[in-house]
C-alpha cells in the first residue's frame, strides 16, 4: 500500500513510513512520514460517502472562497498528486487523499477544560460566520439526509420491523424510551417549516479533535470538512453539547461517569455566540438546549438502529457495543433533560445581555 501512495506524490517509498492514526468510526486515517514532513493520509469510506468526488469538489469551492475573501484563514486543503489531483482512486485501497500536517498544531481527543470548549465552539462559529456570504447552493450534498432526524426516526422504525429479533427484544427498554421522547422529532419538523431558521454552511462533525489548536491553546481552524453541507446551526452546536459537556465519550460503559458539566455548556454558548450572535435570529438562539437534545437523541437512534441491523454501519468491537453506545447517549439525554431549565436560563441570560435596553 505504501508503495502506491508514495508514488502518487512522487515520494521515494524507502523514505516514507505509515502508521494508523485517530479514532474516527467511518474513514481510515494514517500518519505518513516523509523526510521531515508529516502528513495525514485518509481513505474515504465509500460505502458511506457513495460519491467521494463531491467531497473534493466542496473542498475546492470552499478553498476558492477563503482564498478570495479570508486569505489569512488557515484552510487545510489536500496535497495535489503528481497528476494534480486532490483525491485519487487506487484499486487496492479506494478513494484517498493526503493533507500536510500543520506544523506546531495540536489536537485534543477530550475536552479537558472550559477554555478548550470555548475555543472549539468559537472556531466552529467562526467557520460558519466567515462563510455567511458563500452561496450554500454551491455545496454538494456529500451525505444526503445526514442530520435529517425525521428520516433517522423512520430508519429506526424500519429497524424495529426488519431488524434482528433477539436484539429487538434485548433493547426493549431503550426502544421504549426513544419512542417516549419522539416529541424531539416533532420539534425538528417544526424547525424545518420555521422561516426564522436558516440553512447555513454547517460542519456537521464538531467533535473537538476536528479543531486545530496552536501550542498556546488558541484555535487555528477546523478540519475534516467532508460533511460540510447546508444545514441548521443545531447540528453543530448540538454535537458540541453532545461531545464536550460530558466528561466521558459515547464509548464509556460506566454510565455513572456521564455528567452534564454546566460550565462547559456555558463555554459552548459563549464561544459559539461570540462569533455567531449577529448571524442567528433570537428565535434560533433559544434552541441551544434543544440542539443538544436533537443531536444526542439522533445519535442514540443511529446507534440503536445499527445494533438492530447487526452493526453494519458503525461496526462493533465487542458484543452489544452499539447498544451500550445507544444507552450511553440515552443516559446523557436524560441528564440533559433534568437540567434543561437551568441550561436554558444561561442562554436567556446571554440573549438578555446582548439586547440593547431602549
Half-sphere exposure of 163 (CA within 13 A, CB side): 23
Q: Is 247 in the site for ligand GN1 (CB under 6 A)?
A: no
Q: Binders of ligand GN1: how many residues, by CB under 6 A?
A: 9
The Cα 24–Cα 32 span in angstroms is 17
Q: Is 205 in the site for ligand GN1 (CB under 6 A)?
A: yes
Among candidates 201, 30, 206, which has minimal Cα distance to 101?
Answer: 30
Q: Is 236 in the site for ligand GN1 (CB under 6 A)?
A: no
What grid cell was written down for 216? 498556546
Q: Is 250 in the site for Mg ion (CB under 5 A)?
A: no
Place of cell 508514488: 7
What grid cell was written down for 148? 435529517
What's the Cα-to-Cα distance from 242 to each of 100, 116, 207, rounded to whole Å? 29, 15, 9
Q: Is 299 in the site for ligand GN1 (CB under 6 A)?
A: yes
What grid cell was written down for 97? 487523499
Of the candidate spans 197-205, 249-257, 278-286, 340-348, the one that interacts with Mg ion by CB under 5 A turns out to be 197-205
Of the candidate spans 18-26, 30-38, 92-100, 112-120, the one that interacts with ligand GN1 by CB under 6 A turns out to be 18-26
The one of Mg ion, ligand GN1, none whose footprint includes residue 299, by CB under 5 to 8 A per kind, is ligand GN1
CA 137, chain centre distance (Å): 21
**Closest-approach residue to ligand GN1 (CB):** 26
CB of 148 to ligand GN1, least distance (A): 12
Residues 117-156 that bind ligand GN1 (CB under 6 A): 143
What grid cell was written down for 217? 491553546
DSSP code for 349: H
Residues 216-235 that bind Mg ion (CB under 5 A): 224
Q: Is 24 in the site for ligand GN1 (CB under 6 A)?
A: yes
Q: Is 205 in the site for Mg ion (CB under 5 A)?
A: yes
Burial of 330 (0-12, 13-18, 19+ CB in 10 A): buried
Residues that bind ligand GN1 (CB under 6 A): 24-26, 48, 143, 205, 227, 250, 299
The residues binding Mg ion (CB under 5 A) are 205, 224
Amino acid at each position: 500500500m505504501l508503495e502506491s501512495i508514495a508514488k502518487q506524490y512522487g515520494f521515494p517509498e524507502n523514505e516514507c513510513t505509515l502508521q494508523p492514526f485517530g479514532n474516527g468510526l467511518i474513514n481510515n486515517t494514517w500518519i505518513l512520514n516523509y523526510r521531515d514532513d508529516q502528513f495525514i493520509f485518509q481513505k474515504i469510506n465509500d460505502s458511506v460517502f457513495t460519491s467521494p468526488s463531491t467531497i473534493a469538489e466542496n473542498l475546492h469551492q470552499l478553498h476558492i472562497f477563503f482564498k478570495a475573501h479570508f486569505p489569512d484563514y488557515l484552510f487545510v486543503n489536500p496535497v495535489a498528486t503528481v497528476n494534480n489531483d486532490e483525491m485519487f482512486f487506487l484499486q487496492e485501497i479506494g478513494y484517498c487523499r493526503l493533507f500536510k500536517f500543520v506544523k506546531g498544531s495540536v489536537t485534543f481527543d477530550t475536552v479537558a477544560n472550559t477554555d478548550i470548549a470555548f475555543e472549539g465552539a468559537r472556531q466552529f462559529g467562526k467557520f460558519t460566520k466567515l462563510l455567511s456570504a458563500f452561496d450554500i447552493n454551491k455545496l454538494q450534498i456529500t451525505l444526503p439526509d445526514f442530520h435529517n432526524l425525521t428520516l433517522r426516526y423512520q430508519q429506526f422504525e424500519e429497524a424495529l420491523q426488519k431488524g434482528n429479533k433477539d436484539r429487538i427484544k434485548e433493547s426493549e427498554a431503550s426502544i421504549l424510551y426513544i419512542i417516549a421522547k419522539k416529541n424531539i422529532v416533532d420539534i425538528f419538523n417544526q424547525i424545518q417549516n420555521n422561516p426564522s431558521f436558516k440553512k447555513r454552511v454547517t460542519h456537521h462533525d464538531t467533535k473537538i479533535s476536528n479543531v486545530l489548536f496552536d501550542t498556546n491553546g488558541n484555535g487555528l481552524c477546523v478540519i475534516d470538512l467532508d460533511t460540510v453541507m447546508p444545514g441548521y446551526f443545531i447540528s453543530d452546536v448540538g454535537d458540541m453539547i453532545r461531545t464536550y459537556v460530558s466528561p466521558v465519550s459515547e464509548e464509556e460503559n460506566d454510565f455513572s461517569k456521564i455528567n452534564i458539566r454546566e460550565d462547559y455548556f456555558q463555554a459552548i454558548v459563549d464561544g459559539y455566540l461570540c462569533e455567531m450572535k449577529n448571524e442567528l435570529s433570537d428565535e434560533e438562539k433559544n434552541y441551544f438546549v434543544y440542539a443538544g437534545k436533537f443531536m444526542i437523541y439522533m445519535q442514540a437512534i443511529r446507534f440503536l438502529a445499527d445494533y438492530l441491523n447487526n452493526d453494519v454501519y458503525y461496526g462493533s468491537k465487542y458484543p452489544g457495543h452499539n447498544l451500550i453506545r445507544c444507552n450511553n447517549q440515552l443516559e446523557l439525554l436524560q441528564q440533559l433533560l433534568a437540567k434543561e431549565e437551568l441550561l436554558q436560563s444561561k442562554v436567556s441570560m446571554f440573549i438578555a445581555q446582548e439586547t440593547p435596553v431602549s
